[in-house]
């Protein structure tokens, strides 16, 4: 007869071990029966849309969410199919993904890295999201990309323009369709050379965080290669609202070009302040003073109003493009919502389609199978011409648009005009380019 001795110490010990097991995050203890994190087992699959729903980029986040909802509608066979009809891959049939109905959950990044990670974590652990996508900031994208790598889910980045996202912070589970700072510089430089010549002195005002630094580095390198000098690079606090005290020194610096490495509210305010100080009417070194905004957004340009007129920058996509993919997307989006989509909406829609297509082609939701299907994938019909998802860094390579603030807009959406479609070959770079060095994709992580 065995004796079962129940002591207080033993009970506490067993309780502590059981408690520790329960307390372990589920992403690290997923059922061993599942082959990968959040493997869909029923008739539906859940995607996680992590966008800024509050905070300064909430309007851009709302547009991203509209695009995601439209993509889900098209994937499930609703609406007119949008860019599914023009996409060069024909794997998607409008019956969900691998026959599973697409459902989604949303999270609020608040454009804060910690909040974005918390909402992504919640969507993965509680809602069973098999893929996370979205965002309107490079800081957020890099933070969420890291989390998705650890958790074993795919991250399809939204609007993120820092070189670091697919540079030193690249991850095997992360993919970026949006262009980057280097590409902006490579696309803008020839246009700036034609417009303003090779003998220019540039002054940079730069938002003091990862995106600003890499864009400043990229634009300065591209313009210096033209023969321009960079007289000063001034970092401005992200929280700054009145840029007058940063603009005033430009007046006496000898510079004849001001480069504003700002986005969102920073861009609206710094550009407005620069125009207020009469920089655009100023003649320096015998040349008209010019302002350049390397990363343009139509939603943000609206906030700057008339100040954007004639100012050049670059953008990932614009609704006035006349290729079949862009026209199909603008028609779908415009009919559903009553206004044309932003570049943020476009990249988010495309990322969702690319993910769904990769799963169909791979025949599995397993992140490693999806990574394999996306790496080196060449496609067309999504609004940017022939595009490559490069295997080495998970960056999309495609044409880049150089745009200018329109002089005579015909509507509240008609703020930018495309000056040049820079061919993909001109914005390509080697995977080990110094501006992207220091990172390592690592191996894909299926979780589980």
Partner 1 sequence: MDAILLQILNGLDKGSAYALIALGLTLIFGTLGVVNFAHGALFMIGAFCAVTLQRILNLSFELVDETQKDFLGNPLKVKTPYVEAWFGPDIGGSIIDWAVPLAILFAIPIMIGVGYVMERGLIKHFYKRPHADQILVTFGLAIVLQEVVKYFYGANPIQTPAPDALNGVVNLGAAIGMDIVYPVWRVVYFFFAVLIIGGIFSFLQFTTFGMVVRAGMADRETVGLLGINIDRRFTIMFGIAAAVAGLAGVMYTPINSPNYHMGMDFLVLSFVVVVVGGMGSLPGAVLAGFLLGVLESFASMNEIKSLIPGIDQIIIYVVAIIILLTRPRGLMGRKGVMED
Considering beta carbons, is residue 95 or 320 the nearer one to partner 1?
320
Q: Which of 77, 81, 94, 303 binds partner 1 (CB under 8 A)?
A: 303
- Applying CB under 8 A, the span of 66-74, 272-280, 401-409, 433-441 interacting with partner 1 comes to 272-280
Torsions phi, psi for 378 (to 5 deg)? -105, 130
Q: How far apart are CA 104 and CA 343, in angstroms?
A: 22
**Per-position x/- string for 107-126, each x denoting binding to partner 1 as judged by CB under 8 A, each - no binding:** --------------------
State the minimum distance, in angstroms, from the CB of residue 243 to partner 1.
9
Considering beta carbons, is residue 111 or 160 the nearer one to partner 1?
111
Residues paired with 174 in a beta bridge: 155
Considering beta carbons, is residue 289 or 436 the nearer one to partner 1?
289
300 binds partner 1 (CB under 8 A): yes
15 binds partner 1 (CB under 8 A): no
272 binds partner 1 (CB under 8 A): yes
Size of residue set near partner 1 by CB under 8 A: 49
Q: Which of 269, 314, 384, 395 binds partner 1 (CB under 8 A)?
A: 269
75 binds partner 1 (CB under 8 A): no
Q: Which two tokens stand for residue 432?
A: 């080990």
What is the strand order of the sheet 290-295 is part of? 229-236, 201-207, 257-261, 290-295, 312-315, 400-405, 416-422
Q: Which of 101, 232, 323, 390 binds partner 1 (CB under 8 A)?
A: 232
Q: Which of 334, 386, 423, 439 binds partner 1 (CB under 8 A)?
A: 334
322 binds partner 1 (CB under 8 A): no
378 binds partner 1 (CB under 8 A): no
Q: Which of 27, 83, 207, 268 binds partner 1 (CB under 8 A)?
A: 268
- Applying CB under 8 A, the span of 21-29, 125-133, 182-190, 277-285 interacting with partner 1 comes to 277-285
Tell me which residue has tokens 């599914």.
84
Q: Which of 410, 430, 432, 440 binds partner 1 (CB under 8 A)?
A: 410
249 binds partner 1 (CB under 8 A): yes
Distances (CA, A) of 148 to 29, 50, 145, 194, 448: 15, 12, 5, 43, 13
Q: Which of 325, 340, 383, 446 binds partner 1 (CB under 8 A)?
A: 340
**Per-position x/- string for 39-58, each x denoting binding to partner 1 as judged by CB under 8 A, each - no binding:** ---------------xxxxx
What residues line the site for partner 1 (CB under 8 A)?
A: 54-60, 232, 234, 237, 239, 241-242, 244-246, 248-249, 251-252, 265, 268-269, 272-273, 276-278, 281, 299-300, 302-307, 319-320, 330-331, 334-335, 339-340, 410-411, 413-414
């Amino acid at each position: 007869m065995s004796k079962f001795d129940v002591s207080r110490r033993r009970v506490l010990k067993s309780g502590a071990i059981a408690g520790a097991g329960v307390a372990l995050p589920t992403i690290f203890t997923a059922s061993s029966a599942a082959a990968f994190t959040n493997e869909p087992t029923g008739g539906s699959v859940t995607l996680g849309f992590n966008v800024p729903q509050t905070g300064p980029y909430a309007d851009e986040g709302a547009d991203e969410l509209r695009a995601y909802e439209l993509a889900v509608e098209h994937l499930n066979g609703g609406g007119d199919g949008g860019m599914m009809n023009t996409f060069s891959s024909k794997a998607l049939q409008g019956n969900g993904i691998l026959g599973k109905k697409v459902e989604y959950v949303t999270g609020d990044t608040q454009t804060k890295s910690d909040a974005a990670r918390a909402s992504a974590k919640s969507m993965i652990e509680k809602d069973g999201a098999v893929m996370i996508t979205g965002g309107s900031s490079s800081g957020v994208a890099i933070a969420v990309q890291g989390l998705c790598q650890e958790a074993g889910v795919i991250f399809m980045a939204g609007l993120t323009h820092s070189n670091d996202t697919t540079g030193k912070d690249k991850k095997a589970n992360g993919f970026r369709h949006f262009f980057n700072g280097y590409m902006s510089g490579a696309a803008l430089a020839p246009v700036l050379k034609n417009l303003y010549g090779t003998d220019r002195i540039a002054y940079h005002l730069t938002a003091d965080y990862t995106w600003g630094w890499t864009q400043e580095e990229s634009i300065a390198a591209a313009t210096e290669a033209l023969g321009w000098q960079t007289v000063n690079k001034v970092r401005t606090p992200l929280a700054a609202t009145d840029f007058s005290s940063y603009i005033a020194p430009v007046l006496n610096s000898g510079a004849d070009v001001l480069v504003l490495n700002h986005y969102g509210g920073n861009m609206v305010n710094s550009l407005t302040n620069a125009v207020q100080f009469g920089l655009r009417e100023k003649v320096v070194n015998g040349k008209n003073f010019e302002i350049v905004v390397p990363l343009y957004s139509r939603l943000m340009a609206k906030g700057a109003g008339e100040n954007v007129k004639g100012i050049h920058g670059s953008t990932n996509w614009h609704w006035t493009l006349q290729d079949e993919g862009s026209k199909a997307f603008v028609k779908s989006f415009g009919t559903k919502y009553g206004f044309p989509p932003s570049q943020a909406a476009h990249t988010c829609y495309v990322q969702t389609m690319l993910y769904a297509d990769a799963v169909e082609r791979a025949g599995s939701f397993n992140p490693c199978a999806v990574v394999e299907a996306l790496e080196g994938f060449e496609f067309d019909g999504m609004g940017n011409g022939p595009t490559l998802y490069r295997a080495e860094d998970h960056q999309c390579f495609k044409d880049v648009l150089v745009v200018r603030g329109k002089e005579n807009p015909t509507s509240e959406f008609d703020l930018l005009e495309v000056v040049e479609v820079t061919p993909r070959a001109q914005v390509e770079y080697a995977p080990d380019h110094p501006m992207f060095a220091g990172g390592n994709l690592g191996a894909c992580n299926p979780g589980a």
